[in-house]
């Protein structure tokens, strides 16, 4: 059975970053960027711009979920 897409993405992130403190800072970065995109969407007067900012927010939130899930799954498996 092959790993899930989330696990594959996490493995790629961990391979590049290597250590947990960096992964945690990546999680913080993704959380901050999601909040910034939400704020930009709230300020956008154009519907297309708002939609794009909301899509970017969702992508950052997905990355937060991937990193968070993988961090806890990997720590409990160790």
pLDDT, one tens digit per residue, over 43-53 is 999 999 999 99
* Nearest residue to 16 (alpha-carbon basis) of 76, 68, 67, 75: 67
The pLDDT score that the predictor gives to residue 48 is 96
Average pLDDT, the chain: 80
Domain edges within the chain: 32-78
Is the model more confident about 74 or about 29? 29
Alpha carbons within 13 angstroms on the beta-carbon side of residue 35 total 6
């Amino acid at each position: 059975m092959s790993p899930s897409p989330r696990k594959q993405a996490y493995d790629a992130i961990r391979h590049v970053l290597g250590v947990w403190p960096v992964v945690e800072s990546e999680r913080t970065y993704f959380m901050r960027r999601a909040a910034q995109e939400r704020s930009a969407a709230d300020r956008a007067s154009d519907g297309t711009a708002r939609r794009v900012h909301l899509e970017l927010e969702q992508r950052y939130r997905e990355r937060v979920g991937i990193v968070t899930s993988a961090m806890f799954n990997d720590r409990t498996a160790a």
